[in-house]
Amino acid sequence: MNSRFYYDLIALAVFCAVIFLGVPALMSYDGFELNTFARYLSLAIVSMALALSWGTAGLLNLGQAATFGMGAYAMAMHLKLKVSDGLPDFMGWNNVEKLPLVWVPFESLSFTLLAGLLVPAAVGGLIAIFMFRARIAGVFVAVITLAFLVAFQLLVIEQQGFTGGQNGLTGLAPLTLAGWTVDTYSVSFYYLVAGCLTVALALGVYISHSKFGLILRAIREDADRTRFFGYNVATYQTVIFCVSAALAGWAGMLYTLVLEFASPTYMGVSFSLAIVIWCAVGGRESVLAAAVGAIIVNLLEGRLSDVFVEGWHMLLGIVFVLVVMFMPRGIYGVIVDVVRRLNEARRGGRQDSAEDALLPATIQTNRER
Amino acid sequence: MEHLQVTDLHVEFGGLRAVDGLSFDVKQGEILCLLGPNGAGKSTTLDLICGKTQPTGGSIRVNGVEVSRLLEFRRARLGIGRKFQVPSVYKELTVVENLSVARSRRPGIWHALTRLSLRPSKDVDNILELVGLTEKSQDLAGNLSHGETQWLEIAMLLAQDSRLILMDEPTAGMTIQETQRTAEIFRSLSGSHTLIVVEHDMSFVRNVADRIIVMNRGTKLAEGSIAEIETNEDVKTAYLGH
């Protein structure tokens, strides 16, 4: 087996052990603390989703928060319908008298879960088809996705009667999943989120090590060259964009469950840029590193804002600047460099000893002659 | 049988006629060398055949199929492979990863999604052996020397296994021994593969060429065997500028 794949599987196993066994024990199975950590884990999913499109394929999607928000709103619409009797309260305040058609199917949980994945994937795919057929690349991808994000957030805020506008969707019912009413301050809910993250990461690691992932890395480096090998570059880029958007939607659904409301700030520019920062700090080349980056930065943000109520934004900013300046490939880059150096040192040692071992044999053959 | 038929090919870059009414055929399994002074349109001709540049007129047929309006990846799937003048390998990928990308017999998404990137392969091992990069298979392509990079790109074309291979100055930067080795590999490819080679090294051309076309200012100046070309008056004039 390929050694890098092997390392990634070990790292994934260690990571799972930490989030499934280590973290709950460390927080002495306290529901409130675990709820906070579940929030970090759901954000880790959107960060690893960005690593797939940005790190692997080189497509910097600054609109990741839009697809995240779509998932969040899908879940919130379902939970809002569960708590309201026919018509959600805010619709009445906005003179909407009949439940809008788009809301009707969200009564069904299975539809909601599917929509939370497929709507972001479809929207992402549509944008991707237009961009990548026209061979748009580099910074222009960032500009277009950012413009889409801003427009989409504006649309959600403007359509108050359908979306709750600036207030978002609040006062939600708890989710009932196959007869189990999810208590978001319970250990089992934490395990649900951790399980989702594990599945997403396993998918991400597989994609990175599949031939598909390899072709994406080739496209990132030289899209034209890859075309001359017969690969339809636009299709590859569109597919990874869809997968990334679907994962972001999944993270959004979990995020709504954790916070028990959906707000248009989930689709804000600052949130979208924050995702990029998590991804960059962890290391965009590895989905696992991007997930760890999201957890570390959010953990840091939580702790810093407790201690330095005023100045924590400044401290966080300094940390980011330092990361970008001194470890441009993130924490992952540092680890890879260290491992490579250790390997080189070890290989150097082994070559010496191999030459030593060869020496007597050569002398022997010479004697026989 | 004709593998490639180029008829009355034209391309203009802002008034400059880089290729101007060029016509030629290449037979199945033949090695054709394109010669000519700088700016004669040799590389542009290769660009037009592989789809890097769109022609302004004329026709390009591969096995009788008109390809001049197809996108690059479609032409590659019809069996056109290209080696560029500036060696273009993926510097951030390892040598085996480069070869794995080049092995594109099945370039579809589904096939790529259901395969791990680096399955051990006898073919890849053989190609690495052939070009002498076995020892460096796990190195990043960016760490190779210039000559090794040339070999890697040739290896990638072997892995791609296109029936029609376009080579742009394959021996540039190689030592005399390496050039001879390249000539041997090309000779072994002929018959099963059709090659069009742009090259300045005349001893290399003498070694490999079945037929030669000399270009000048976007048109065909002369065509024939090496002996015919060397005695051709027009060719002498074009090169010496009388």
pLDDT at B240 over 70: no
Shared domain for A204 and A122, answered yes or no, is yes
Cα(B153)–Cα(B167) distance, rounded to whole angstroms?
10
Cβ atoms of residues B33 and B209 within 8 Å: yes
Shared domain for A159 and A219, answered yes or no, is yes
Listed in sequence order, the DSSP H helices in chain A are: 3-17, 23-26, 31-50, 64-83, 89-93, 109-133, 139-158, 160-163, 187-209, 211-221, 223-227, 233-259, 269-282, 287-307, 312-326, 330-368
Cα(B141)–Cα(B93) distance, rounded to whole angstroms?
6
List phi, psi (to 5°) of B223. -150, 140
Model confidence band, residue A143 (pLDDT cutoffs 50, 70, 90): very high
Residue range A189-214: mean pLDDT, rounded: 94
Model confidence band, residue A307 (pLDDT cutoffs 50, 70, 90): confident
Shared domain for A305 and A354, answered yes or no, is no
Q: What is the ipTM of this complex?
A: 0.91
In chain B, what is the greatest distance between 2 CA atoms, to the nearest angstrom? 62
Set of chain B residues whose Cβ sits within 8 Å of the Cβ of A209: 116-117
Set of chain B residues whose Cβ sits within 8 Å of the Cβ of A226: 101
Residue range A105-118: mean pLDDT, rounded: 92
Shared domain for A257 and A279, answered yes or no, is yes
Cβ atoms of residues B76 and A227 within 8 Å: yes
Which DSSP state fits B70? S
Contact B93 A221 (CB under 8 A): yes
Model confidence band, residue A1 (pLDDT cutoffs 50, 70, 90): very low
pLDDT the model gives residue A231: 93
A95: exposed, middle or buried (Cβ count in 10 Å: 0-12, 13-18, 19+): exposed
* Least confident among A65-79, A153-167, B112-126: B112-126
Shared domain for A208 and A276, answered yes or no, is yes
Give how far the C-alpha of residue A276 lies from the chain's centroid of Cα atoms, to the nearest Å: 10
Under 8 Å CB pairs connecting chains A and B tally to 89
pLDDT at A368 over 70: no
Model confidence band, residue A340 (pLDDT cutoffs 50, 70, 90): confident
Q: Which residue has the higher pLDDT, A179 or B50?
A: B50
Shared domain for A263 and A355, answered yes or no, is no
Residue range B156-179: mean pLDDT, rounded: 88
Residue range A150-154: mean pLDDT, rounded: 94
- Nearest residue of B to residue A216, measured between CA atoms: B101
Name the domain count of chain A: 2
pLDDT the model gives residue A84: 83
pLDDT the model gives residue A361: 42
Give how far the C-alpha of residue A299 lies from the chain's centroid of Cα atoms, to the nearest Å: 16
Q: Which residue has the higher pLDDT, A304 or A258?
A: A258
Domain span including residue B36 = 2-240
Residue range B137-166: mean pLDDT, rounded: 89
Cβ atoms of residues A267 and A74 within 8 Å: no
A221: nearest CB among B91, B100, B118 = B91
Cα(A41)–Cα(A47) distance, rounded to whole angstroms?
10
Contact A210 B112 (CB under 8 A): yes
pLDDT the model gives residue A360: 43
Residue range A239-268: mean pLDDT, rounded: 94
Which among B163, B164, B153, B160 is positioned nearest to B105, based on CA atoms? B160
Q: Tell me how long chain A is.
A: 369
Cα(B98)–Cα(B4) distance, rounded to whole angstroms?
28
A213: nearest CB among B71, B76, B117 = B117
Cβ atoms of residues A278 and A47 within 8 Å: yes
Min Cα distance B47 → chain A (Å) is 11
* Residues B198-225: tens digit of each pLDDT: 988 888 898 899 999 999 888 888 888 8
Best mutation target among B72, B77, B94 (most A Cβ atoms within 10 Å) is B72
Shared domain for A27 and A79, answered yes or no, is yes
* Residues A4-17: tens digit of each pLDDT: 888 889 999 999 99
Cα(A213)–Cα(B115) distance, rounded to whole angstroms?
10
Min Cα distance A218 → chain B (Å) is 7
Shared domain for A67 and A189, answered yes or no, is yes
Cα(A289)–Cα(A283) distance, rounded to whole angstroms?
5
Shared domain for A130 and A7, answered yes or no, is yes
Shared domain for A101 and A193, answered yes or no, is yes
Name the domain count of chain B: 1
pLDDT the model gives residue B241: 62
Domain span including residue A368 = 336-369
Min Cα distance A212 → chain B (Å) is 5
Average pLDDT, rounded, for chain B: 88
Shared domain for A311 and A243, answered yes or no, is yes
pLDDT the model gives residue B164: 92
pLDDT the model gives residue B225: 87
Shared domain for A108 and A142, answered yes or no, is yes
Model confidence band, residue A349 (pLDDT cutoffs 50, 70, 90): low
Looking at chain B, the whole-number percentage of residues with pLDDT higher than 70 is 99
Q: CB distance from A214 to chain B under 8 Å?
A: yes
Min Cα distance A2 → chain B (Å) is 7
pLDDT at A363 over 80: no
pLDDT the model gives residue A305: 80
pLDDT the model gives residue A147: 95
Model confidence band, residue A193 (pLDDT cutoffs 50, 70, 90): very high
Dihedral (Cα; B190, B196, B201, B207), 10-degree rounding: 20
Residues in a beta bridge with B223 = B213
Q: Which secondary-structure segment (H or E) carries B19? A: strand B16-27
Cβ atoms of residues A45 and A247 within 8 Å: yes
List of residues 6+ apart from B163 with CB closer than 8 A: B3, B79, B193, B194
Q: Sign of the CA dihedral B98, B104, B107, B112? A: negative
Which among B52, B17, B46, B50 is positioned nearest to B34, based on CA atoms? B46
Instruction: Write out the DSSP string of A301-368.
Output: HHHHHHH-TTTHHHHHHHHHHHHHHH-TTHHHHHHHHHHHHHHHHHHHHHHHHHHHHHHHHHHHHHHH
* Residues B86-140: tens digit of each pLDDT: 878 999 999 999 999 998 888 888 888 888 877 778 888 888 888 888 888 888 9
Set of chain A residues whose Cβ sits within 8 Å of the Cβ of B115: 210-211
Residue range A286-314: mean pLDDT, rounded: 86
Cβ atoms of residues B138 and B94 within 8 Å: yes
Which CATH number goes with the domain that contains B174?
3.40.50.300
Cβ atoms of residues B33 and B225 within 8 Å: no
Best mutation target among B101, B103, B149, B163 (most A Cβ atoms within 10 Å) is B101
Contact A222 B116 (CB under 8 A): no
- Nearest residue of B to residue A217, measured between CA atoms: B93
Q: Tell me how long chain B is.
A: 242
pLDDT the model gives residue A2: 65
Instruction: Write out the DSSP string of B81-123.
Output: EEE-SS----TTSBHHHHHHHH--SS--HHHHHTSBTT---HH
